[in-house]
C-alpha cells in the first residue's frame, strides 16, 4: 500500500528542483503546477479548472496523493485561493501562473488514467499475496501500530475480494472502536480512517448502524487523536451518496455539531467538511437545519482556519437552497453578518452565493433591504470590487432577487443611482449579467398602479393634518 502511494505522488508532482517552492495548496494535485484558475469541487478539493473538465470528459476519478477521492459533481471558482496565489506571486516578484489549455489537461489526465490502472493492479496483487501469507498473524498486531481488521482492501469494486459486513470483519472493528482501552480505540479509528480513504466499496459496506453507533461515541472524545480521526473517517463515509441519508438517520449529527462548535481545530475542519458533504443530498438539507447545524456554520465563517471557513460557506450555500433554512438564517442574523463579510472583500463569491439564495425568499429580501444590501451591491458594482466575472454576476443576481421587493426596492435603487449603472452592465456585461440587468431595469421602469394612483405628498400632508387633529382632541 505504501509503495503504491509513493509512486502516485511521483506521478502527480514534478521534481521540486524544477519549480519554485510554493505552498502545497497552490499546486493542482493533477497537473502538479501552480494553479491559475482554481476551482473547488463538491468534496472540498481544489484543482485547476481544465483538469476537472478533462476528468469529467474522460469519466475518470483520480485517487489523490493523500488517498482521498474527489467528487466533481459541483464546480465553484476558488476565488480566495486565486487571489492568494496572485498576491504571493506579486510579493515574490514572480510572473502570475497561466491556465493550462484543455488539450494539455486532457493529455495529463489520460496519462494518469493508465498510470493509476497499472498501480491498482500491482497493489491488488501485492495485497492478495500479503493476505495469503500473513492472515494467520494478523490477530497479533504490535501495539506501536494501528490494529488492522483481518479484511484487506483493494482499489475497485471489481476486485476479487469482497468484504462481508455484519460478519467477523465488522465485529472486530466495532469491538475495537468500543474498547475500554484508549490505545485500542485510537488504533482502530486511525485504521478505519485509512480503510475508508480510497475504497468506495469499503465506505459503503462499513457505513452500518453498528459502526456509526460506535463512531458516534468517539467523535466527542476528549483525546485529540481519537476525535480528529473519528470525524475524518465520517467525512470519508459521507463521500458516497448512498451513505449520506443513513448517516443523518444514525443520530451522529448532534455530536458532529458539538465538534464544530468547540472541538479541536483539526476536528472542526473535518466537521465542517462532513456537514458540507451531507448537505449535498437534498433529503438532508432540512434535517441538518432542524438538528442545529446553521448557527455553528455561521460562527465558523470567522474561523482562523481557511479550510473551515470555505467548507462552512459551501455548506451554508447548499442548506440555504431550502426555504425553511433561509427563514432560520434570517432569524439568526445571517444577512447582516454576510453583508459585513462581503464588504471585506474576502470570499466574496461564496458569501454572495448564500445571499442570492436568501434574496429568493420574502424574509431574506426584507432583511437585506433593511440592512442596506442594495446600496452595498450597487457600490461594489460601481467600484468593480470583484476578482472574477462570476462574482460580479452573482452580485447582479442578488440584486435581481431583491428587485422582487416592490416599491421598497425601487426607492432604494433610485437612491443608490442603480439605473445608470445597470444600463452599463446591460451594454458591456456577460450574457448572464446582461439578462439580469435587463430584468432589473424592467422592474425599475415599470409603473405600478399603486405608484400611479397615490399622491405621496398629499398623503403625507393628510397624515400631518390627522396627527394635529388627534393632538387637539387629546388636549381638549
Q: Which pLDDT value is given to residue 167?
A: 67
Q: Which pLDDT value is given to residue 43?
A: 79
Q: Which three cell numbers stand for residue 302?
A: 470567522
Provide the terminal-to-terminal Cα distance of the chain, rounded to the nearest Å: 94
Bridge partners, residue 47, by sequence: 39
Whole-angstrom distance, CA of residue 270 vs CA of residue 228 = 8
Whole-angstrom distance, CA of residue 198 vs CA of residue 196 = 6
Query: Is residue 344 classed exposed, middle or buried when 0-12, 13-18 and 19+ CB atoms within 10 A define those classes?
Result: exposed
Query: Which domains, and CATH codes, for the chain?
Result: 24-118 (3.30.40.10), 179-282+298-306 (1.25.10.10)
Full pLDDT tens readout for the chain, 476 residues: 444 434 333 333 444 444 557 888 899 999 888 999 999 888 788 999 999 999 988 888 888 777 778 888 888 888 888 888 998 888 888 889 998 888 888 888 888 887 776 665 555 445 434 443 433 333 333 333 332 222 223 333 333 233 344 567 888 889 999 999 999 999 999 999 998 988 788 898 899 999 999 999 999 999 999 999 999 999 999 999 999 999 999 999 999 999 999 999 999 999 999 999 999 999 999 999 999 999 999 999 999 999 999 999 999 999 999 999 999 999 999 999 999 988 887 788 888 899 999 999 999 999 999 999 999 999 988 888 776 788 888 888 999 999 988 888 899 989 988 888 889 888 888 888 889 889 999 988 887 544 445 554 554 455 555 444 444 434 43
Query: Is residue 137 classed exposed, middle or buried when 0-12, 13-18 and 19+ CB atoms within 10 A define those classes?
Result: exposed
Helix (H) or strand (E) run with residue 470 in it:
helix 456-475
Q: Which pLDDT value is given to residue 262?
A: 92
Amino acid at each position: 500500500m505504501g509503495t503504491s502511494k509513493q509512486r502516485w505522488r511521483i506521478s502527480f508532482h514534478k521534481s521540486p528542483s524544477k519549480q519554485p517552492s510554493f505552498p502545497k495548496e497552490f499546486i493542482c494535485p493533477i497537473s502538479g503546477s501552480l494553479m491559475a484558475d482554481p476551482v473547488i469541487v463538491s468534496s472540498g478539493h481544489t484543482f485547476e479548472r481544465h483538469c476537472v473538465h478533462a476528468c469529467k470528459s474522460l469519466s475518470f476519478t483520480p485517487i489523490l496523493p493523500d488517498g482521498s477521492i474527489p467528487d466533481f459533481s459541483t464546480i465553484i471558482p476558488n476565488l480566495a485561493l486565486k487571489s492568494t496565489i496572485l498576491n504571493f506571486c506579486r510579493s515574490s516578484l514572480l510572473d502570475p501562473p497561466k491556465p493550462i489549455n484543455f488539450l494539455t489537461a486532457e493529455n495529463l489526465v489520460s496519462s494518469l488514467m493508465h498510470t493509476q490502472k497499472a498501480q491498482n493492479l500491482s497493489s491488488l496483487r501485492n495485497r492478495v499475496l500479503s493476505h495469503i501469507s500473513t492472515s494467520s498473524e494478523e490477530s497479533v498486531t504490535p501495539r506501536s501500530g494501528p490494529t488492522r481488521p483481518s479484511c484487506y482492501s483493494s482499489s475497485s469494486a471489481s476486485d476479487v475480494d469482497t468484504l462481508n459486513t455484519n460478519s467477523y470483519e465488522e465485529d472486530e472493528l466495532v469491538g475495537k472502536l468500543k474498547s475500554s482501552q484508549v490505545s485500542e480505540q485510537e488504533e482502530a479509528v486511525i485504521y478505519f480512517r485509512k480503510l475508508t480513504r480510497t475504497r468506495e466499496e469499503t465506505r459503503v459496506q462499513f457505513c452500518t448502524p453498528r459502526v456509526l453507533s460506535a463512531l458516534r461515541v468517539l467523535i466527542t472524545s476528549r483525546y485529540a487523536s481519537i476525535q480528529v480521526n473519528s470525524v475524518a473517517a465520517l467525512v470519508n463515509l459521507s463521500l458516497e451518496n448512498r451513505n449520506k441519508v443513513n448517516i443523518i438517520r444514525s443520530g451522529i449529527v448532534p455530536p458532529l455539531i458539538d465538534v464544530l462548535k468547540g472541538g479541536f481545530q483539526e476536528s472542526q475542519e473535518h466537521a465542517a467538511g462532513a456537514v458540507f458533504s451531507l448537505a449535498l443530498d437534498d433529503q438532508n438539507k432540512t434535517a441538518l437545519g432542524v438538528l442545529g447545524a446553521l448557527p455553528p456554520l455561521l460562527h465558523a465563517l470567522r474561523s482562523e482556519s481557511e479550510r473551515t471557513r470555505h467548507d462552512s460557506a459551501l455548506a451554508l450555500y447548499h442548506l440555504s437552497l431550502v426555504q425553511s433554512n433561509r427563514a432560520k438564517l434570517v432569524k439568526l442574523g445571517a444577512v447582516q453578518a454576510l453583508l459585513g463579510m462581503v464588504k471585506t472583500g474576502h470570499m466574496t463569491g461564496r458569501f454572495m452565493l448564500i445571499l442570492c439564495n436568501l434574496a429568493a425568499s420574502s424574509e431574506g429580501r426584507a432583511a437585506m433591504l433593511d440592512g442596506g444590501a442594495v446600496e452595498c451591491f450597487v457600490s461594489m458594482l460601481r467600484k468593480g470590487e470583484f476578482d472574477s466575472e462570476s462574482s460580479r454576476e452573482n452580485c447582479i443576481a442578488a440584486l435581481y432577487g431583491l428587485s422582487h421587493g416592490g416599491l421598497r426596492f425601487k426607492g432604494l435603487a433610485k437612491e443608490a443611482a442603480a439605473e445608470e449603472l445597470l444600463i452599463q452592465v446591460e451594454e458591456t456585461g456577460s450574457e448572464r449579467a446582461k439578462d439580469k440587468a435587463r430584468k432589473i431595469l424592467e422592474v425599475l421602469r415599470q409603473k405600478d398602479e399603486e405608484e400611479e394612483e397615490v399622491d405621496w405628498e398629499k398623503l403625507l400632508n393628510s397624515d400631518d393634518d390627522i396627527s394635529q387633529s388627534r393632538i387637539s382632541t387629546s388636549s381638549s
